[in-house]
Amino acid sequence: MSDHHEKLMDYLYQELSPEEARRFEDHLGTCEMCQKDLADFRQLREALAAWNIEEVPHISLTIDGSPSRHWFALWKAFPIWLRLTTTAAAALLILALFNVQMSYRPQEGFRFSASLWPRAELPAVEQPQPEPVGLTEEQVAALIRAAIAQAQQQTSERMTAEIEALAAKLRSENERLLVQMADTLRQEQEERLAELEDQLGQPSTVSTLAELFWEEPNSGY
């Protein structure tokens, strides 16, 4: 389809700007085909326009508005305070239907639970009594003193036990060293004795021993 056909449609239904219309009219003056089309289509439009529908049958609509739609329309007609009240009541009703339970504990925060069936009553559990709070300064000082004394006592006992253990260890070490020294002395004495016995078997040695263990009878005593 040529551009002239599109322009012809625009011109026929007056959708051209004045400048475009003038230019197309210039074209029309030289194009017999477009002239014929325009003449035929204008005649055709007159024929089409004759089909004018004057009477419209009654259009009956059965809008099956859902119940929720009617309830919503009713709710919209309420004043604001009544809307809030009905909304809160509906919310409570829903919570009750689902057995919603809410609880709050300082350590755990809010807790929610829900069930379709009512839950059995649980036996009461004794909760530990919380420590009293809000001590006076004297009470706090006494508590601190008691804690310090207890710590000192524990430290003293621990040190005493360590000292005793160390002393026992030292005693044991001393005994071991004494036994070792005694053994060494005995061994040395035995070796010495053995040497002496060897020397006793020789004459020169006997006089020497006599000189060692006995005094001369005429030594002046």
Partner 1 sequence: MEWTDEQIVQRTLNGEVDAFGILVRRWEKKVYGLAYRMLGHYEDARDTTQEIFLTVYRNLRKFRGDAKFSSWLYRIALNCCHNRLRERALQTVPLDESPPVPVDASAHSQVERQQKIERVRRALRALPYEMRQVIIMKEYEGLTFKEIADILNIPVSTAKTRLYTGLDQLRERLLAVKDAL
Q: Which residues bind partner 1 (CB under 8 A)?
A: 1, 5-6, 8-10, 13, 15, 37, 40-41, 43-51, 53, 55-57, 59-61, 63, 65, 69, 72-73, 76
Beta carbon nearer to partner 1, 13 or 98: 13
DSSP state for residue 126 in the 8-state scheme: P
DSSP state for residue 110 in the 8-state scheme: E
In angstroms, what is the minimal distance from the CB of 70 to partner 1? 8
Transcribe 17-75 into DSSP letters.
-HHHHHHHHHHHTT-HHHHHHHHHHHHHHHHHHT----------------HHHHHHHHH
In angstroms, what is the minimal distance from the CB of 57 to partner 1? 5
In angstroms, what is the minimal distance from the CB of 41 to partner 1? 5
**What is the distance between the alpha carbons of residues 209 and 204, in angstroms, rounded to a whole number?**
9
Transcribe 157-181 into DSSP letters.
HHHHHHHHHHHHHHHHHHHHHHHHH
Beta carbon nearer to partner 1, 40 or 211: 40
Give Cβ neighbours of residue 20 (< 8 Å, ≥ 6 apart): 7, 10
Beta carbon nearer to partner 1, 20 or 162: 20
CA–centroid distance for 30 within its chain: 85
Judge contact between 30 and 20, C-beta under 8 A: no
Beta carbon nearer to partner 1, 42 or 192: 42
In angstroms, what is the minimal distance from the CB of 23 to partner 1? 17
Beta carbon nearer to partner 1, 86 or 172: 86
In angstroms, what is the minimal distance from the CB of 48 to partner 1? 5
